[in-house]
Structure 1
């Protein structure tokens, strides 16, 4: 018996070494940094990623970013790209060796006044027409950190975070399937504990004015009056900043950033809604960041709650696309969560998952809501997670 064990010992040692090496290879290295312009002002919503790989993130409103890489990416190139600035590139290991982890972006001055351009409206129409060509439209899975705060009387009273896998074919198509894999929430201090019949991520698709060309949004864009308000650039391409006005609703304005040559849409601003897009390694663009806030018209509020805090209920939302997977072998998902309120999901709480997740640095959005919820009864958010989740 001992002889047999001794005979197998080299194989066991080799197996243990292999497991150790595999674990070492899978261990992630966290890259953090701050993005500034030449005047030392922070630059928000900047695309940060690894060249030719679907590893990336967006900087926060304060210009901070964090990114997880493996040892295999140490010799790869980190790139930082934003509208109006030259793309910054540096080897990952060189950036990690820097004592000062700030990145100074150089402004790219663009002047398109001497060029003969199409009319602003023609650029919008071409952006709609080329949406499928310009966006990542083959089946892929976006891994999304989706956050929602429900506020009453202007104060956040319920906080939910979901980690979602969304099988998608880009904004040129209707929203794809979703699988909520992880969830956590705070205590619910709302007066009106409203539940939605479907997940809040649906609004991320529905309020996008650049949805399929036959949608009401796209038809509305064709009616808007458009004017050029500025110039910019993105990764070597000149970009037009166009402002649209709805002729039927004076309050409705939309600002879009459209590539001069490609007609790619890089940014959309619509009231309290913001979309930021970045380039995939294929050259096509996909969603990187989303932010939105909306309330409820009075007819949607139960009559018995009129005159109460329920009339002030608002949803504040923020989403980061943490990864994009295009390998068809890795794009299978199990539908879960589409037809449920994101704060009512029947999922176990895994604190270790949230600790290991490559969450972005604390954004102003996160800090504001966290402070308001913790301030209601002086209970830390982490404690609320432990008490309020399964």
Structure 2
């Protein structure tokens, strides 16, 4: 009996000591005027585990203790890429990272027509983007608002196989984890597909939308990771409201950023260690006016016949895996139903350790609105709704 207890104690001890200690890294990325730099990429350079700053420049990372000797790599368009040893950063009293603006003037080097740069970017996609199958681990978040008040939050942790912006679709996509608030919507506008499909199916490069019917002009210049970038704005010849803006590198013609008038969408790309670009961040917002009933008017305490309904989306790529042997795309297959209708058990331990950006002002406001409806904490909503 004593021998069995001794063996059990040894096994338990080995299990405890084998667990790697986790280190929390938080801070804020600012420019020279102390203004937060939104959606900056913060990455552990040797692993490409990382996160994206919120819209106020704040970030948070949870890493293993073995990464203490590694380096934080901070990169975004318009600023010089900065590398900071993690050990040195943790020793700083003020957890702030100041980026230096990388000013550039393209007046002297811009010798081609805007249409030519767009064409060169199209032809270079196979060389500039990560075309080999890779796994994206994505935090996908959607806030649903009615009459400018948040009434439903859904977050999915998605694993997807991709071959870059040169491919039309994701090869595979599954949901690994879910958490969602109580659904307090009056007007449950649902989609017959997952919201991540919109991110892909309305991507102007993947669909080829940008290739026809647009007039292009140069609107400015900036930099990314030491490369000069030309900013090109395309306006549709017939539908003047349709606009696409491309940020194209002058050295390799890579597309680093895409902005579209369609849903006010933004796509950000960053460099892998092999120099190829992969998706890092996306946001968009859908808005519409919807009619409400007399009963709903009384409940909302308004006299209007219609209210504004919106979906605010964010997709943050938190990790990328290029080694086929290490890819793990297991989970609930994404099909043809609204992302709010998927059901999985809520796993608080998973969400606690996820490298999520700190709560922005909008996020805090939305959570406060969700909690105030029936005076139920968001954590309790997660437990009850999942």
When normalised by structure 2's length, the TM-score is 0.89
CA drift of 1:367 comes to 2.6
Specify the SS of the correspondent of 1:282: coil
**1:62 to 2:56 alignment:** yes
1:282 aligns with 274
Calculate the aligned-residue CA RMSD, in Å.
Answer: 2.8
CA contact (8 A) 1:192 1:309 kept: no
Specify the SS of the correspondent of 2:339: coil
2:26 aligns with 32
> Structure 1, residues 165-213: CA drift from partner, whole Å, max 9, x if none?
11111121122211101112112122222432221111111221111xx
- Which of 323, 327, 333 is residue 327 of structure 1 equivalent to? 323
Q: 1:302 to 1:191 in 2, by over 3 A?
A: closer
> Structure 1, residues 239-272: CA drift from partner, whole Å, max 9, x if none?
1111111111111222221111111111112232
CA contact (8 A) 2:75 2:225 kept: yes
CA contact (8 A) 2:28 2:59 kept: yes
Specify the SS of the correspondent of 1:281: coil
Q: 1:20 to 1:387 in 2, by over 3 A?
A: closer
CA drift of 1:27 comes to 2.7
**1:163 to 2:157 alignment:** yes
CA contact (8 A) 1:57 1:322 kept: yes
Between Structure 1 and Structure 2, the one with more strand by share is: 2
1:226 aligns with 216
2:300 aligns with none
- Which of 73, 92, 112 is residue 86 of structure 2 equivalent to? 92
Specify the SS of the correspondent of 2:341: coil
**1:189 to 2:189 alignment:** no
1:179 aligns with 174
2:144 aligns with 150
Gaps of 5+ in 1: none
2:341 aligns with 344
CA contact (8 A) 2:229 2:249 kept: yes
CA drift of 1:338 comes to 2.9
**1:46 to 2:40 alignment:** yes
* Matched pairs, number: 376
Whole-angstrom distance in 2 between the partners of 1:111 and 1:249: 31
Specify the SS of the correspondent of 2:167: coil
2:368 aligns with 371
1:294 aligns with 286
Specify the SS of the correspondent of 1:193: coil
CA drift of 1:154 comes to 2.7
CA drift of 1:302 comes to 12
